[in-house]
Amino acid sequence: MLYHSISENGQGLMEYALILLFIAIAVIAVLLIFGPSIGNLYSQVQNLFPS
């Protein structure tokens, strides 16, 4: 009975780890695709304010 509980906890941890991995891959992909345009937008907003 104790072994079954430990096995289920480990499986849940693995599922959370896989979800986090997929989210990280998606975030990296979005940043690679939209990174330059986000940088340009940031520069345009920064230029609106006098330094």
Q: What angle do CA 20, 11, 6 make, to 5 degrees?
A: 135
Cα separations (Å) of 24 from 11, 31, 33, 47? 20, 11, 14, 31
Phi, psi for residue 49 in degrees, rounded to 5: -100, 130
Q: What is the pLDDT of residue 24?
A: 98
Q: How confident is the model at residue 6 (pLDDT cuts 50, 70, 90)?
A: low
Query: What's the pTM?
Result: 0.60
Q: CA-to-CA distance for 7 and 11, rounded, in angstroms? A: 6
Q: CA-CA distance, 16 to 9, in Å (whole number)? A: 11
Summarize the confidence of residues 26-37 as an average pLDDT: 93
Q: Which 8-state DSSP code applies to residue 1?
A: -
pLDDT band at residue 27 using 50, 70 and 90 as cut-offs: very high
Q: What does the pLDDT average to over 17-34? A: 96
